[in-house]
Amino acid sequence: MKAIRHILSACLIFAGALQASFAETGVTDNAITLGMSVPLTGPAGAQGQELKKVIAAYFDQVNKNGGVNGRKLQLTVMDDGYDPEKTVANTRTLIETDKVFALLGYYGSTAMTDAMNKVFGPAKVPMIGGISGAMSLRQPPAANPNNRYMFSQRASYADEAEAIGTQLATLGLKNIAVFYQNDGFGKAGLEGLGNALKKHNLTPSATGSVERNSEDIGKAVEAIAKVNPQAVVMVTLHKPTAAMVKALRNANLSPMFMTLSPVSAEQLTQELGKDARGIGISQVMPYPWNDTVAVVKEYQHFIGRQGPYSYTSMEGFIIAKLAVDALRKAGSKDLSREKLVTALEGMNQDFGGYRVAFAPNSRAGSQFVQLTVIGAGGKLVK
């Protein structure tokens, strides 16, 4: 009998060791560790701080209600300062040192594309949601195997630019200039707008660019002012956007100004004050102040009656919901990165007025675009 007990004990120890050897990185019986690299400092620091705050708060709420299939969510956040090289380095640290299970909520087109192709794609670590509309992140896995691990919850910059271009062409405007950031974000918007205008037999009348993290716009102002445009589409963040608006108005030009969702209406208004009024902004999330939309009502309840509400925190809320739903669908038994990828590929989820859908060969989760305008007091209106 003693011999049998020793054999059984040895078998149980071996089985336990075998099960542990098959456990996925970043997953224990009690926890799932997720990683996030965002700009907590620098030109997009406010957006990164807001994303971190809302996603962490949502995970805290989930944990208080039992977690995901009995496991608590642990979030590791690193600051990249809106620098793609730091994003790549942070991603490597999160995967290789911090041993996270999956990633989420990154910010910036070049940063996310570089991180995907250099780090998390080759490592086969899923990325759930992020703030970028670059087409490089939406290529089907058949075109780029690294895209198999990237799941984008928002419309592309091409979708936003097409909505803007269509609106301007519908208004009968033909002299349309483009001011863009010289990186993946800006070039994607430039290309999308060009494609939209081409459908109306139009091309940009002038283009001007600004380098990432720079406000040196002198040459761009000169090129754009020269054509006296009816409209200027700005594919830039808030500081160069505000600088361009001021420069053209100082040159006694008054075109219609349009820009894309990453600009941050709140920060643009802080930069321009009352001069921000009338600037159009394309949005890829539901209007955060419209509580007749179910997901917005849920968001407002989560944030609290006093707010403040914003598109950035609305998007962070959607990303957090997407991550939690995908993890739940991936199951509790033998949770793995491959099971998470499969769960995401099968997702067709209406969050209550905002649908996110993927497929095995599709990584573009939404094409939702809505145009807004900065009104009196900096308030955005539809």
Task: Tell me: do 150 and 204 sit in the same domain.
Answer: no
Give the model's pLDDT for residue 76: 98
Range of the domain at 244: 157-283
Residue 3 lies in a domain: no
Q: Which are the contacts of 83, defined by CB distance < 8 A and separation ≥ 6?
A: 39, 42, 111, 213
User: Which residue among 251, 283, 315 closes a domain?
Assistant: 283
Residues 168, 258 share a domain: yes
Q: Are residues 216 and 320 in the same domain?
A: no
Residues 131 and 54 occupy one common structural domain:
yes
Is the domain of 148 the same as that of 166?
Answer: no
Is there a single domain that holds both residue 42 and residue 76? yes
CA distance 287 to 292: 10
Residue 190 lies in a domain: yes
User: Is 98 in the same domain as 187?
Assistant: no
Q: Supply the pLDDT for residue 192.
A: 87
pLDDT of residue 21: 41
Identify whether 257 is part of a domain: yes
Residues 145 and 161 placed together within one structural domain of the fold:
no
313 and 58 Cβ atoms separated by less than 8 Å: no
pLDDT of residue 3: 52
Q: What is the pLDDT of residue 11?
A: 45
pLDDT for the residue 20 = 41
126 and 180 together in one domain? no
Report CA Rg, the chain.
23
What is the tally of structural domains in the chain? Answer: 2
- pTM for the predicted model, two decimal places: 0.87
- Residue 116 within any structural domain of the chain: yes
* End position of a domain, from candidates 283, 301, 325: 283
What pLDDT tens digit does each residue of the chain (382 aa) get? 455 554 444 444 444 444 444 479 999 999 999 999 999 999 889 999 999 999 999 999 999 999 999 999 999 999 999 999 999 999 999 999 999 999 999 999 889 999 999 999 999 999 999 999 999 999 999 999 999 999 999 999 889 988 999 999 999 999 999 999 998 889 988 998 998 899 999 999 999 999 988 999 999 999 999 999 999 999 999 999 999 999 999 999 999 999 999 888 888 999 999 999 999 999 999 999 999 999 999 999 999 977 799 999 999 999 999 999 999 999 988 999 999 999 999 999 999 999 999 999 999 999 999 999 999 888 899 8
Whether residues 148 and 225 fall in one domain: no
Residue 306: the pLDDT is 72
Structural domain ending residue among the three candidates 220, 255, 283: 283
Query: 198-230: string of b/e by CB count within 10 Å (b at 16+)?
Result: eeeebebbbbbbbebbeeebeebbeebbebebb
The CATH number assigned to the domain holding 85 equals 3.40.50.2300
On whether residue 364 sits in a domain, the answer given is: yes
Q: 141 and 27, same structural domain?
A: yes
Domain assignment present for 161: yes
Note whether residue 376 is domain-resident: no
Same domain, 263 and 180: yes
Is 2 a domain residue?
no
> How far is residue 80's CA from residue 143's CA, in Å, rounded to a whole number?
28
Distance between CA atoms of 171 and 289, rounded to whole angstroms?
27
Q: Which residues of 23-45 are buried (b: 16+ CB within 10 A; e: fewer)?
A: ebbbbeeebbbbbbbbbbeebbb
